[in-house]
Structure 1
């Protein structure tokens, strides 16, 4: 049974998906529940029991919330039943991802300084001083490079401030709430925005959406705490729920 692309929970109207969930819950020993397509309280409790007993596809405990999103679906039905989303929706975002990939491995010097010869270009592109946080400046620089190659105007607001990048974005906005309800709307090349406090945040690119997990390319992050290097890295296993603000899709 293929994941429908949206969250299944109480009062869901997708009878076919609910029946499949109920059948699978019974087979996994988390019932008995009636296989009738009604996501009632008994079905919700059975889902919570399943989430308590079983891990996700990466071996991590499931969140026992009684909601069947892509992570719980993959645990119930297997990873082959979740379609990976790997294709950007337009040529601009495809070009931007190529630019972002070319920067993987660029690091600060010294680590944790928000500075260094390799990251000056991100600061300069966004018009911010060296030593400032630069995840959004990295996003802006990647778009600038791609737009120069494609001979088109950069649609991203020029800033190194994540909050301003979100508030002034002239693109399609996908809130974290809508993204969790319909995970199929999260596409490669979109810019994700995380709030880390009043006026502060972190941003990066979605590279792949698979099994309820995102593969991302991010600047101003540490990928390996043992070496402490901060730079541009590919990160896997970022849960959609951790994107607490939303996503921007530029055209």
Structure 2
């Protein structure tokens, strides 16, 4: 692909900016590779790995390796020895509905679910988005959570505890309206829903995932659309600065 760099304009720059915004970088989509875009690219490069698992060159230019990493983000956060493909012990708690949804999330993770053929594309993404009426190309973190709870409800949207949605903050707001959200200081349990704001708090944008378990100050989750595949992530609970909160389906 053509090397993208500061000063260029065009549709490829617009696509680059759209991907960066989806990855939580606060910049306008103008089609102009300006200084704001340059800084966002450098920030991304400093935190991500290429297809070989090596650190990206932090030069603010988008060549084949950086473009691949933008579409298949692999962060430098190391997950340790947590096996997200194993269901957490009953001692960690969790509601029956939540644990059932989590089992489907784990099954998808173990099946290698994720994007194929480009950003937000492929048969897995289509499957999660289909009940919303949207096609591939849209962010799918909330649709993945919705799909897991749809399976837990026997495949019936009418029996789901919340409306199937492709909007992370829409799901969180539904849970809040039902009185199913938790205080940020409460300890999350397997199958709980965790939601973050993206770009800015007033933006209405968000990201969402399922709690795998919580232990010793660390929150372990399974999420779609944070990486290119359904994957497990770990967080220091007290340092989740963009956290909106948790929801627990009774």
Match of 1:239 in 2: 237
Which consecutive unaligned segments of at least 5 residues does structure 2 have? 1-88
Cα distance in 2 for partners of 1:237, 1:86 equals 20
Aligned to 2:114, the other structure's residue is in SS state coil
Match of 1:117 in 2: 123
Provide Cα deviations, 1:94-138, integer angstroms capped at 9, x if missing partner.
Answer: 111110000112120234x11111221100123323211010000
Provide Cα deviations, 1:215-237, integer angstroms capped at 9, x if missing partner.
Answer: 10000122xxxxxxx01011124
**TM-score between the two structures when normalised by the length of structure 2:** 0.56
Match of 1:199 in 2: 204
Provide Cα deviations, 1:19-39, integer angstroms capped at 9, x if missing partner.
Answer: xxxxxxxxxxxxxxxxxxxxx
**TM-score between the two structures when normalised by the length of structure 1:** 0.56
Name the Cα RMSD after superposition: 2.4
Cα distance in 1 for partners of 2:135, 2:155 equals 26
Deviation at 1:87, TM superposition (A): 3.0
Q: Does 1:153 align with 2:159?
A: yes
Report if the CA contact (8 A) 1:85-1:208 is conserved. Answer: no
Cα distance in 1 for partners of 2:113, 2:91 equals 24
Report if the CA contact (8 A) 1:147-1:154 is conserved. Answer: yes
Q: Following superposition of structure 1 onto structure 2, how do residues 126-141 of structure 1 map, counting pairs within 5 Å?
A: 126-141=132-147
Match of 2:226 in 1: 221
Give the number of the structure whose alpha-carbon radius of gyration is greater: 1
- C-alpha spacing 1:87/1:161, structure 2 compared with 1 (3 Å): same
Which runs of 4 or more aligned residues in structure 1 lie more than 4 Å from their structure 2 counterparts after TM superposition? 149-152
Report if the CA contact (8 A) 2:114-2:229 is conserved. Answer: yes
- C-alpha spacing 1:215/1:200, structure 2 compared with 1 (3 Å): same
Q: Following superposition of structure 1 onto structure 2, how do residues 6-45 of structure 1 map, counting pairs within 5 Å?
A: none
- C-alpha spacing 1:237/1:168, structure 2 compared with 1 (3 Å): closer
Report if the CA contact (8 A) 1:194-1:203 is conserved. Answer: yes
- C-alpha spacing 1:151/1:91, structure 2 compared with 1 (3 Å): farther
Report if the CA contact (8 A) 1:126-1:140 is conserved. Answer: no
Aligned to 2:243, the other structure's residue is in SS state coil
Q: Does 1:172 align with 2:147?
A: no
Match of 1:106 in 2: 113
Deviation at 1:238, TM superposition (A): 4.8
Which residue, out of 168, 188, 191, partners 1:189?
Answer: 191
Higher strand share: 1
Cα distance in 1 for partners of 2:195, 2:246 equals 6
